[in-house]
Structure 1
């Protein structure tokens, strides 16, 4: 059963990593996973919080940082060392199939911390902003998805790594959003 799932995961990885290869994705998708590319968005979120939510912005930003921290801690420090799955770009069975679009890194693969963190942040922000700005739902989910998909395309994660990261991040985002909603009336 596990071997069948791993083979399916490797086959799906190659269909995305090699099968969708094209110059536009080779340019775009490495950018999508780069934290510096998204810095203007993060700055916008902070400014937007202060403009729309005034003093409560400190609480929103604090909870947003806690959401990110919890996601990163859970994925990178707790689960990855426990599972110790090799990244596809470091897998000797795939050495002839990997297109090196970004540096591989030496860390483990499961779950994707990028997927975990960005889904956690997206879900949290959806719950915070949805009442005032409905487009945050599709935009937030697409943003988290494209970053997660990019991880597969560039060769640093298997599809199951990003799916698990998305599920973990969604759970964390829901938990922190729930805490935010419970404490919000007291502010």
Structure 2
């Protein structure tokens, strides 16, 4: 069964990484996974929270940092070293199939920390702001999905890495979002 999952994962990886290949995606997806590209969005969230919610905004930012920290700690420091899955771009068995679109990195692949962190942040923000602004649901999910898909397209993660990262991030975002609502009356 594990072999079938790995074969499916490799086939899906190649469909996304190679078969979807075109000039526009070659430009777009490396940007979508670049943390500096999203810096204006992160700055907007910080300024918006402080301006609109004052003290509660600082609490939201603190919870957002906790959400990110939990995602990064669990995915990168706990699970990745334990599983030790090689990134597709570092796997010598498929090196002739890889299109090098970004620097590969030396870390492990499973789960995707990008997917974990972005889904965690998106779910947290959805839980915090959905009652005030309904469009955050599709926008937040689309944002996390595009970042996750870009990881596969550029060749640094297999699809299962991003799927598990998305599930882990969703669980973390739900936990911190629920915690935010439980603690909110006390701030």
* TM score, norm. by length of structure 2: 0.99
Q: Residue 7 of structure 1 aligns with which residue?
A: 7
Q: Deviations over 1:21-75 (max 9, x none)?
A: 0000000000000000000000110111012211111100000000000000000
Q: Deviations over 1:98-122 (max 9, x none)?
A: 0000000000000000000000000
Q: Which whole-Å CA distance do the structure 2 matches of 1:134 and 1:11 have between them?
A: 36
Rounded to whole Å, the distance in 2 between the matches of 1:139 and 1:86 is 32
Distance 2:14 2:172 in 1: 29
Aligned length: 187
Give the match for residue 57 of structure 1.
57
> What's the C-alpha RMSD, in Å, of the aligned pairs?
0.5
Q: 1:1-187 residue pairs with structure 2 within 5 A?
A: 1-187=1-187
CA distance in 2, matches of 1:106, 1:44: 32
Structure 2 CA distance for aligned equivalents of residues 32 and 147 of structure 1: 5
What per-residue deviation string (whole Å, max 9, x for no partner) do you get for residues 140-164 of structure 1? 0000000000000000000000000
Match of 1:18, SS state, is: helix
Can you give the 5+ residue segments of structure 1 that lack an aligned partner in the other structure?
A: none
TM-score, normalization by structure 1: 0.99
Q: CA deviation at 1:95?
A: 0.6
Alignment partners' CA distance in 1, 2:179 and 2:129: 15
Distance 1:133 1:46 in 2: 17
4+ residue segments displaced more than 6 Å: none
